[in-house]
Structure 1
Amino acid sequence: MDLTTFWFITIAVLWVGYLVLEGFDFGVGMLMAVLAKNDKERRVLLNTIGPVWDGNEVWLLVAGGATFAAFPEWYATLFSGFYLPLFLILLALIVRIIGIEFRSKRDEPSWRMRCDAAIVFGSVVPALLWGVALANIVRGVPIDADHEYVGGFFNLLNPYGLLGGLVTLSVFLVHGAFFVGLKTVGEIRERAIALGLKVGVVAGALAVAFVVWTGFDQGSLAVWILGALTVSAFLVGMASAVAGRDGRAFAGTAVAIALLVATLFTGLFPDVMPSSLDAAWSLTTTNAASTPYTLKIMTWVAVVFTPIVIGYQSWSYWVFRRRIGVHHIPV
Structure 2
Amino acid sequence: MELSTIWFILIAVLWIGYFCLEGFDYGVGMLLPVLGRDEPGADVASADGATAHTGETRKRQMLSAIGPFWDGNEVWLLTAGGAIFAAFPHWYATLFSGFYLPLLLILVGLILRGIGLEYRGKVDSAAWRARMDTMVVVGSFVPALLWGVAFTNIVLGVPIDAEMEYVGGFWNLLGPVALLGGLTTLTLFLTHGALFVALKTDGQLRHDARALAIRLGLVAAVLAVAWLAILQARSGSGLSWAVTGIAAASLVGGLLMAGRGREGWAFTGTFAAIGLATASLFLALFPDVMPSSLDPAWSLTTQNASSSQKTLGIMTVVALVFTPIMLIYTSWSYWTFRKRVSGHHIPTQVHHAAVVEGDQVGAGR
**TM norm structure 1:** 0.99
C-alpha deviation, 1:212, in angstroms: 1.4
Question: CA offsets, 1:240-291, max 9 Å, x none?
Answer: 1011111100000000000011110001000000000000100000000000
Structure 1: state its 5+ residue gaps: none
CA distance in 1, matches of 2:129, 2:11: 37
The structure having more radius of gyration, on CA atoms, is 2
Query: Which residue, out of 256, 267, 278, partners 1:250?
Result: 267
1:18 partner amino acid: Y
Q: Does 1:6 align with 2:35?
A: no
1:203 counterpart residue number: 220
Q: Does 1:70 align with 2:87?
A: yes
1:28 counterpart residue number: 28
Q: Does structure 1 retain, via aligned residues, the 8 Å contact 2:254–2:266?
A: yes
1:143 counterpart residue number: 160
1:155 counterpart residue number: 172
CA distance in 2, matches of 1:116, 1:210: 31
C-alpha deviation, 1:211, in angstroms: 1.7
Question: CA offsets, 1:48-97, max 9 Å, x none?
Answer: 00001000000000000000000000000000000000000000000000
1:259 counterpart residue number: 276
2:43 counterpart residue number: none
Q: Does 1:276 align with 2:276?
A: no
Alignment partner of 2:243: what SS? helix
CA distance in 2, matches of 1:283, 1:161: 20
CA distance in 1, matches of 2:271, 2:99: 27
C-alpha deviation, 1:120, in angstroms: 0.2
Alignment partner of 1:149: what SS? coil
C-alpha deviation, 1:223, in angstroms: 2.1
2:17 partner amino acid: G
1:222 counterpart residue number: 239
Query: Which residue, out of 300, 303, 327, partners 1:310?
Result: 327
Question: CA offsets, 1:90-127, max 9 Å, x none?
Answer: 00000000000000000111100000000000000000
2:249 counterpart residue number: 232
CA distance in 2, matches of 1:84, 1:286: 27
Question: CA offsets, 1:278-327, max 9 Å, x none?
Answer: 00100000000000000000000000111111101111111100001111
CA distance in 2, matches of 1:161, 1:223: 19
C-alpha deviation, 1:219, in angstroms: 4.4
1:240 partner amino acid: M
Q: Does 1:166 align with 2:183?
A: yes
Q: Does structure 1 retain, via aligned residues, the 8 Å contact 2:236–2:283?
A: no
CA distance in 1, matches of 2:33, 2:61: 13
Please identify, of 122-131 and 213-222, the stretch whose mean Cα deviation from structure 2 is larger.
213-222
CA distance in 1, matches of 2:240, 2:17: 20
CA distance in 2, matches of 1:265, 1:309: 22
1:285 partner amino acid: T
2:17 counterpart residue number: 17
Question: CA offsets, 1:168-218, max 9 Å, x none?
Answer: 000000000001111011000000000010111110100111121122111
CA distance in 1, matches of 2:323, 2:228: 31
Aligned residues: 331
CA distance in 2, matches of 1:127, 1:253: 15
CA distance in 2, matches of 1:260, 1:63: 17
1:106 counterpart residue number: 123
Query: Which residue, out of 90, 98, 116, partners 2:133?
Result: 116
- Structure 1's consecutive aligned runs of 4 or more residues displaced over 3 angstroms after TM superposition are none
What are the within-5 Å matches in structure 2 for residues 284-323 of structure 1? 284-323=301-340
CA distance in 2, matches of 1:307, 1:290: 24
**TM norm structure 2:** 0.90
1:188 counterpart residue number: 205
